[in-house]
Amino acid sequence: MPTAQVVYQGDLRTICMHVLSGNEIVTDAPLDNQGKGESFSPTDLVATAWLSCMFTIMGIIMKKHSIEAQINGEVTKIMYAEPRRIGELHAKIKITGNLTDKQKIILENAARNCPVAKSLSPEIQQIIHFEYD
């Protein structure tokens, strides 16, 4: 079974459907690349997937080790030219909870080793800043 089905709508827009659930995502080319920027660009989805994957793996680890914490954050994508590509990903991850130093290390290692992080080109700088409350 395929993971997703994608239909080009014209005008630099796609509709992407997750086959198993039927959920849809719309993509548009960004303003700086001839698009309208009305939705996620494909490279925005890569950046977002990176942060979402880190949170998912951290959640699995929190469940496994009975760690109580809340996680939120933001991701910034820096594009490089010639060839146009993602050059840098910057994540700010805020973790709220009464964590030991060992638990912080466990969560940070989980984030850095998520499948998306390990799947990206080594040429992409992955910069993660963790903040604790």
**pLDDT value, residue 8:** 98
**pLDDT value, residue 51:** 98
Ordered strands of the 85-96 beta sheet: 70-80, 85-96, 125-132
**pLDDT value, residue 109:** 98
Could you give the domains of the chain?
4-33 (no CATH), 42-132 (3.30.300.20)
**pLDDT value, residue 123:** 97
Burial grade of 19 (CB within 10 A; 0-12, 13-18, 19 or more): exposed
pTM score of the predicted model: 0.95
Question: Which residues of the chain have a pLDDT value below 70?
Answer: none
**pLDDT value, residue 92:** 98
**pLDDT value, residue 3:** 97
